[in-house]
Structure 1
Amino acid sequence: MRAIWKGSVSFGLVNVPVKLYSATESHDVSFRQVHAKDGGRIKYQRVCSIDGEEVAYADIAKGYETEDGEMVILSDDDMADLPVTSSREIAVEKFVPSDQIDPMLLEKSYYLEPEKTGAKPYALLRQALLDADRMAVVTVALRQRTTIAVLRVKDDVIVLQTMMWPDEIRKPDFSIEGGEVKDAEVKMATMLVDTLAGDFDASEFEDDYAEAVQELVKAKIEGGEIKRTPTSTKSSGEVVDLLAALQKSVQAAKDSRGESDGTEKSAKAAKKKPAKKSAAKKTAKKKAS
C-alpha cells in the first residue's frame, strides 16, 4: 500500500506522527459505452445547453444552482476565498462511547501507521481506546477540507473513519401503516431469528455478479468474440508490436534469400492465430484484475 497522507494525531500534549492508507478498494464491475458495430468507445463533447456550442476547458467555470433554477457562477478568485486548510493534524476533540456513533454517519475508512518515532504513543492511544471502549472524535483536513472523523481500533491497528455531517443524513418522509402484529406471529418470527442466528463471517459471502461477468468475458475472449480497435487493450499492444517486428524481420531475411511469397503467407497464417489467442489471454487477465 502507498501512504496517501502524512501528519500526526494529537490528544492532550501527546503527538503521534502517522501515515494514512486507504483501507478499502472497490471491486465493482464497470463497463464502457461502445459502438455495437465495431467496439469503438463513445466520446462525449462538452456542449453548452444554451448556444449548442462545444466549450473549451479554459471556458468552463463552477456554477451553483439555486432551488429556483438560477445559476451562480463562481470564479477562481471566489473559490480561493473559501475556507480551506492544509493542516497535517488529526486533532482529538473528545472520546465518546462507541455505541453513540450511528453507523449511518461513517463514510470512508483509512489505516493509521505510526512513524518510527511515534510507535510508543501510538500503542498508548490504541490501548487507551480499547480499555475505555470508546472512539475518539477528531477533526482532520483531507483534500483541503476539514471533516469530522472517528478513531477506533481494529486488529491492533488504529482506523480513521471519516463521517458525514449530521445534516447529510436524510430523514424518512414516509409512515408505515398496518404494522400491528399478533403475539403468535412475534413468537414465530423470534423462532426464525433463533434458527438463523450466527456470527458474521464476511468470507461466507461472494460477489457472484462480478464473478459471472468475468466468466462471461473470458468465454467470449476464448471464443474469439472480440473487437480489435485502434485503442485496443494496452496489455496486448507489446505482443502485437513484437509479432509485427518479428514478421518483418523474417520477411526481410526471406527477401534477401529470394524465397517465394507463398512461404511468407503460410508463415503469417500459422503465426496469426496463436498470437491473437495470446493477446486475448492477456486481455482477460487485465480485465479480471
Structure 2
Amino acid sequence: MPRPLWNGAISFGPVTIPVKLMGATEDRSVRFHQVHTEDLGRVRVRKYCEAEDREVSAGEIGKGFEVSKDTLVAVTDEELEKMPLPTAKAIEIVAFVPAASIDPVRLSGDSYFLQYDGQVAVEPYVLIARALTRNTKVAVAKLAWHGRERLVLLRVRDGALVAHVLKWDDEVRDPSELASKDAKVTDSEIDEALLLVESGPGSVK
C-alpha cells in the first residue's frame, strides 16, 4: 500500500478510531512531454514575477489571497496550519444517510482508503465497517486537510473504509436551466424508452 497522506481519527459520539488515510487510486494514463517540434528539445515552464519581470525560484514563491481587484495579501503555510478548524486531526462523522441520497455529481473524484492505526483501533474499525455494511448506509463526515475543511463520504469496500471527497452545496451548479420545458413526451414513448433500457447491452434482469 502507498504511504499515508494523513493521520488522525474517525470521530462520532464517544467513539474515536485512529486511522491513516492513503490514496485509493493511481494514475495509469500515458504522459507526454512538451517538445520543440523543430529539434525535439524539451519545453520548460519558467515562473516569472510580474512586478520585477524576472524568473523566480521555488523558494521565492508563496501563497497570496486576493481581497480585492489587484490587491493580494500574503498567506503562509504556518498561518494555514494555525487556522482554528475543529476537524484538524479528525474525520468527524456528522450524519448517516442512505447511499442513494448522495448525488453522484457531488463526488469530486478523489478517493482514499482508511486504514486502522494500531491494534487499539482494529475492533472499533471493524465494528463501524460491518455496521455500515449491514445497514447499507454511508457516513457523511468533515475533514480538515491542506488548510481547508472538506466534506467526505465514508463507505465500505471489501471490508475496508473508503473516503470519497464531496463537493459542498455551493460548489454544485444548478442544472435546472438545462432541462427543456417545451418538449412533449407521451407515456407510450416513455414505455418504449424503458424497453430499450431494460433490453440494452449489459442490462441486468
Tell me which interval the TM-score lies in, with the shorter structure as reference length.
Answer: 0.7 to 0.9
Letter in 2 for 1:118: A
Unaligned runs of 5+ in 2: none
Instruction: Give structure 1 regions of 4+ aligned residues with deviation exceeding 6 angstroms.
Output: none
Alignment match, 1:102: 103
Q: Is the 8 A contact 1:21 1:111 kept in 2?
A: yes
Q: Distance in 2 between matches of 1:28 and 1:84?
A: 38
Q: CA deviation at 1:49?
A: 5.2
Q: Is the 8 A contact 1:61 1:75 kept in 2?
A: yes
Q: Distance in 2 between matches of 1:79 and 1:16?
A: 27
Cα RMSD of the aligned pairs, angstroms, is 2.9
Letter in 1 for 2:186: K
Matches within 5 A, 1:1-289: 1-2=1-2, 3-48=4-49, 53-57=53-57, 60=61, 62-64=63-65, 70-76=69-75, 80=79, 83=83, 85=85, 87-107=88-108, 108-114=110-116, 115-172=118-175, 173-196=177-200, 198=202
SS in 1 for 2:93: strand
Letter in 2 for 1:142: W
1:59-116 CA distances to partner (integer Å, 9 max, x unpaired)? 655444578xx22212246982773658322122222222222222122111111132
SS in 1 for 2:91: strand
More helix by share: 1
**Worse overlay, 109-118 or 172-181:** 172-181
Q: In the superposition, relative to structure 1, how do residues 144 and 76 fare at CA in structure 2: closer, same or farther (>3 Å)?
A: closer
Q: Distance in 1 between matches of 2:147 and 2:66?
A: 23
Q: CA deviation at 1:22?
A: 0.7
Unaligned runs of 5+ in 1: 201-289
SS in 1 for 2:126: helix
* Higher Cα Rg, which structure: 1
Q: Distance in 2 between matches of 1:175 and 1:191?
A: 23
More strand by share: 2
Q: Distance in 2 between matches of 1:78 and 1:118?
A: 31
SS in 2 for 1:27: coil
Q: Distance in 2 between matches of 1:32 and 1:66?
A: 36
Aligned length: 197
Q: Distance in 2 between matches of 1:147 and 1:9?
A: 14
SS in 2 for 1:117: helix
Q: In the superposition, relative to structure 1, how do residues 32 and 84 fare at CA in structure 2: closer, same or farther (>3 Å)?
A: farther
Q: Is the 8 A contact 1:140 1:149 kept in 2?
A: yes
Letter in 2 for 1:16: I
